[in-house]
Structure formats: C-alpha cells, structure tokens
C-alpha cells in the first residue's frame, strides 16, 4: 500500500523527465542560456544570474563557471512558499507518516521496501537439439532484440549456424529494474568454444553494444574453425537489384537464379522500384548434394508492399524447384489451350504436310477454331515477334523466361498494343485466329520452345504449376522452418568480408 502511494507520487511528478528532455534538446542546439532558462523554469523560481550560466567555449565544450560561495545573489532565491512542504502545508513525508500511522492500526501490515536490482547471475547451459543461440537466450529471459544483436556480433567471427548441438555456454546476465518496475535481463557476457583450441567471448560495452573476440587473438579475427557456408542479404533495390545485390557480395549466379525465379511474376525492368526490397538466403545445399557450390535457398521480393517468397525444395521425384509459402511452384504452367472451344486438329511430330505433300516435322500443334476466335497468351512474358513472319503468316512469339517461349501463327490480326517488346500477361488476348501464311484454313498453330527447341505442348505439364501435396508438402514445411531458423542468424557476405581474416 505504501509502495503504491509512493509510486503514485512519482507518476504524477513528471516534471523531472520533461526537464531532462528540455535540457537535452537545448544542448543539441547549443543554446545554453535556453538550458539555464528551462532549468530555472523547472525549479519554477527566479533565473540564475547570467554570470553563472554555463557557456560554450570555441570547441563547443560546456564551461560552468566556478561559483563564488560568498555571493548570495548568484543562487536562485527560494522561499518557504516555493517548497511543497512547510509549517502550514503537509509534505510528502508527513503524508507518508500519516499513512503509516493509519496502517499501524490495521492488521496484516506488510512493509514494502524498494526493490534492489539483483546481482548479475552466471549460468552454464548446453545448446539443445534443434535449438539456436537466439532461442537459448530468449528462453533465459533475454529480449529477442538483444539476442539477435549478440548473435550478429558472433557471426562474422564464427557463424552461429555452425554452433553444434551440445556446445556449452557460460552466460552472465545482468538484471535491472526498469522505470516501470519490470525486471530487464541483459546478457553482459557470453563465452563458448568454437573448437578445441579456442574460446570465443562476447561482451557488452557500456552502451550495450556487443563485441566478440577469440581469446588471445586480435579483435575481430575469425575463428580458425569458421566456415562461412550460408549468407543472408536484405536490402532495398535502389537503382538496380543487380547493383544492390552485388554491393552486398551476392554472387552473380545467385542473382541470376533469383531473377529467373521471379521471371513469371515480375518484369524486373519496369515493375521493380528503388524502394522495393529483396531478401536472399543462399549457401551450401541443405540435403542430398555434397557439392560445395552454393544455391539459393530463399528468395523474397516485396514490390509496392506486396511480398512474394519462394523456397528451394527437391521433391520425392528428385526434381528441384522453387515453391511459394503454400507449396506452389514458382514456374507458372502455360495455358493448355490458348484458344477456347478448340479441337486439336494436328498433333506434334512428323507428318505429311497437306500443302507440300512430303513428310515434315510439325513443330507445334494445330487447333481448329473459327476465324476471329481470340488467342490468349499461354503465359506472361515479353513479345519477341508480332506481325508477318514468313510461312507463319501473322504471328506472335512470347518469351516467358530464359527457358520457355511460345509461338502463335496464322492469325488474322494482332490485338491492340501487341508489338515487339510489349509485356503481356497470361490469358491476355494477343490476336485473332485466321489463315495467313502457309495455311489451308482458319486454325491456330501453337508452338512451345524449351531452351530454343520446339517441344510437344501437350507434354509440358510437368514444367510448371506444380502443387506439392502429401509427404512432399510435409517435408517442404519442415524445410521452410529450417531455412527460416538458419536465416535468422546467418551473416551477410559483406559482414563476413569486412571482418578481419
């Protein structure tokens, strides 16, 4: 009860904090007389004599003149009226004494004394299976921000992802009571052995910044056991995604993979703006392969506040692809039929040509549809060809990404806006069925090219649009969780490069 009464007094008395704020603000602007005034106004009394106002010297240092103790005019005059207590006014002390007197007459008196912050505590723990250093610290009451900052300090010296299960840690936790009376647990020192001949120690400096070092080595020197196998880069796109990734030391082949994954969703030339962000996590393969060549594990792009994320995953059939949060493949499948109401009139492969009379490879499939039927883009992409194209007549060719192209021939006319270099979306009308070029009647001749070679369009279902299910989906979810945990503590290649060898 006393405790709450006293706390109440502190809460209402907000002036000291405001005063500090005013002093800090004034100090920043260098206006010291303002400081003095605000101090005087806090006291609520007369201003200090100007002779004793602190002055700034040439270097901007605050000089407080020595006080002449014999000169009474140099001090603010405070009368008993200015004080919150006095002969005719009950003071805080008296109110407390009154409260105590009252309490004495009641039963079950508990006297609450001010809580003294406990001494720092030392503890030893071992990293459990599947546990990260961040987990271990937050489980011990450390804030996730402090746990992350500590791990960030460890990372360039010895990657936290390499810390093995069972590694023993010595941890010193400082316990403080904050302004609101809550206990704040802060890690002031942590040490562990990255390998048999090394001890890595992280210490917090006075400002709470963490410094990590190997005992007996230069500050910032890397552990002899460190292998930097996984990296994470998060950045704004700025003037170009490639440039921003390069600045962060992301290898070219990882950047190329990233743009390839998003090619179905995004036109990098036009849609991505300077304030958009990307998040890349890459490194050694996580399963199966013993290859040391790094692969892209996680690719995220946020455009205009909309985020798309893909994870690398190898399904039970041995195919490796990128899948979104829900297990849908990044590659969007091409539309099976770019015209509605179509009847397949001629298949893919060798056939006797109706006009030329000899056997010839048919590089696509033909759909018999009435003249003028709209033709839709089988997938999003950039128009490569739009217009007269030899035996194809009026044709459109669309490049979907580095791997896939589609071609639509014998059109009667192009749709408005379809020209070389134009971007089209899946399902968008690109032209109308006709019989231009070497053709016997209205139909759509449709080709799909993979790596520049025509393939049977009815056989490309496996190429994209896969949705993980069953065991694959369960495994994918496990992998996702693992990747997210690893990412949380992975350094950027730039951080590692900047640490000393």
Interaction site with Zn ion (CB under 5 A):
366, 445
Which residue number, 445 or 466, has a Cβ lying nearer to Zn ion?
445
Least spacing, CB of residue 334 vs Zn ion, in Å: 17
Least spacing, CB of residue 394 vs Zn ion, in Å: 14
Helix (H, G, I), strand (E, B) or coil at 395: strand
The DSSP annotation for 266-278 comes to: --TTTT--TT-EE
Give, in order, the Cα–Cα distances in Å from 381 to each of 172, 266, 363, 433, 476: 57, 9, 21, 20, 29
Least spacing, CB of residue 427 vs Zn ion, in Å: 22
Q: What is the DSSP letter of 67?
A: P
Which residue number, 366 or 397, has a Cβ lying nearer to Zn ion?
366
Least spacing, CB of residue 444 vs Zn ion, in Å: 8
Which residue number, 276 or 366, has a Cβ lying nearer to Zn ion?
366
Alpha-carbon distance 146 to 137, whole Å? 9
Work out whether strand 365-368 and strand 444-450 pair parallel, antiparallel, or are unpaired: antiparallel
378-409: b (≥16 Cβ within 10 Å) or e: bbbbbbebbeebeebbbbbbbbbbeebbbbbb
Which residue number, 259 or 439, has a Cβ lying nearer to Zn ion?
439
Which residue number, 273 or 459, has a Cβ lying nearer to Zn ion?
459
Cβ contacts of 358-364, under 8 Å, gap ≥ 24? 363/447, 363/454, 364/407, 364/409, 364/445, 364/446, 364/447, 364/448, 364/454, 364/457
Sign of CA dihedral 234, 235, 237, 241: negative
Which residue number, 254 or 378, has a Cβ lying nearer to Zn ion?
378
Work out whether strand 365-368 and strand 394-399 pair parallel, antiparallel, or are unpaired: unpaired
Least spacing, CB of residue 364 vs Zn ion, in Å: 5
Least spacing, CB of residue 354 vs Zn ion, in Å: 10
- Name the residue number minimizing CB distance to Zn ion: 445
Which residue number, 366 or 405, has a Cβ lying nearer to Zn ion?
366
Which residue number, 226 or 411, has a Cβ lying nearer to Zn ion?
411
Nearest Cα to Cα of residue 400 among 313, 456, 326, 330: 330
Nearest Cα to Cα of residue 407 among 436, 379, 427: 379
Least spacing, CB of residue 152 vs Zn ion, in Å: 60
Least spacing, CB of residue 442 vs Zn ion, in Å: 12
């Amino acid at each position: 009860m006393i405790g709450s009464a006293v706390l109440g007094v502190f809460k209402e008395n907000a002036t000291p904090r405001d005063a500090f704020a005013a002093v800090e603000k004034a100090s920043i602007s260098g206006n010291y007389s303002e400081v003095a005034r605000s101090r005087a106004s806090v006291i609520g009394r007369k201003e200090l004599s100007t002779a004793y106002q602190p002055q700034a010297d040439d270097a901007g240092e605050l000089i407080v003149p020595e006080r002449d103790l014999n000169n009474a005019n140099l001090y603010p005059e405070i009368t008993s009226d200015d004080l919150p207590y006095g002969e005719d006014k009950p003071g805080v002390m008296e109110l407390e004494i009154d409260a105590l007197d009252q309490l004495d007459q009641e039963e079950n008196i508990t006297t609450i004394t001010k809580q003294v912050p406990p001494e720092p505590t030392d503890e030893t723990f071992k990293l459990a299976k599947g546990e990260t250093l961040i987990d271990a610290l937050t489980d011990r009451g450390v804030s996730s921000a402090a746990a992350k900052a500590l791990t960030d300090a460890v990372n360039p010296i010895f990657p936290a992802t390499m810390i093995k299960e069972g590694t023993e840690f010595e941890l010193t936790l400082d316990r403080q009571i904050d302004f609101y009376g809550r206990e704040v647990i802060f890690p002031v020192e942590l040490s562990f052995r990255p390998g048999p001949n090394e001890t890595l120690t992280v210490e917090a400096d006075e400002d709470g910044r963490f410094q990590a070092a190997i005992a007996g080595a230069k500050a910032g020197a890397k552990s002899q056991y460190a292998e930097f196998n996984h990296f994470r880069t998060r950045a704004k796109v700025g003037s170009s995604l490639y440039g921003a990734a390069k600045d962060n030391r992301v290898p070219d082949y990882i950047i190329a993979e990233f743009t390839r994954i998003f090619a179905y969703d995004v036109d990098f030339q036009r849609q991505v703006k300077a304030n958009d962000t990307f998040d890349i996590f890459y490194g050694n393969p996580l399963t199966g392969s013993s290859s040391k060549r790094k692969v892209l594990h996680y690719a995220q792009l946020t455009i205009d506040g909309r985020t798309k994320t893909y994870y690398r995953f190898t399904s039970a059939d041995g195919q490796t692809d990128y899948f979104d949060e829900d297990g849908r493949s990044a590659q969007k499948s091409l539309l099976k039929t770019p015209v509605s109401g179509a009847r397949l009139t001629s298949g893919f492969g060798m056939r006797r040509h109706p006009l030329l009379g000899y056997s010839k490879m048919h590089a696509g499939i033909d759909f018999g549809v009435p003249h003028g039927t709209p033709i839709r883009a089988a997938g999003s992409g950039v128009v490569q060809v739009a217009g007269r194209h030899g035996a194809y007549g009026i044709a459109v060719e669309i490049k979907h990404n580095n791997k896939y192209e589609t071609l639509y021939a014998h059109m009667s006319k192009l749709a408005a806006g379809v020209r070389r270099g134009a971007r089209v979306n899946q399902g968008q009308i690109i032209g109308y069925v006709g019989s231009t070029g070497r053709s016997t009647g209205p139909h759509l001749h449709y080709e799909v090219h993979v790596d520049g070679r025509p393939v049977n369009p009815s056989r490309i279902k496996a190429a994209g649009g896969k949705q993980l299910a069953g065991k694959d989906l369960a495994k994918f979810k496990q992998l996702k969780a693992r990747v997210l945990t690893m990412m949380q503590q992975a350094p950027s290649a730039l951080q590692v490069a900047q640490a000393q060898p």
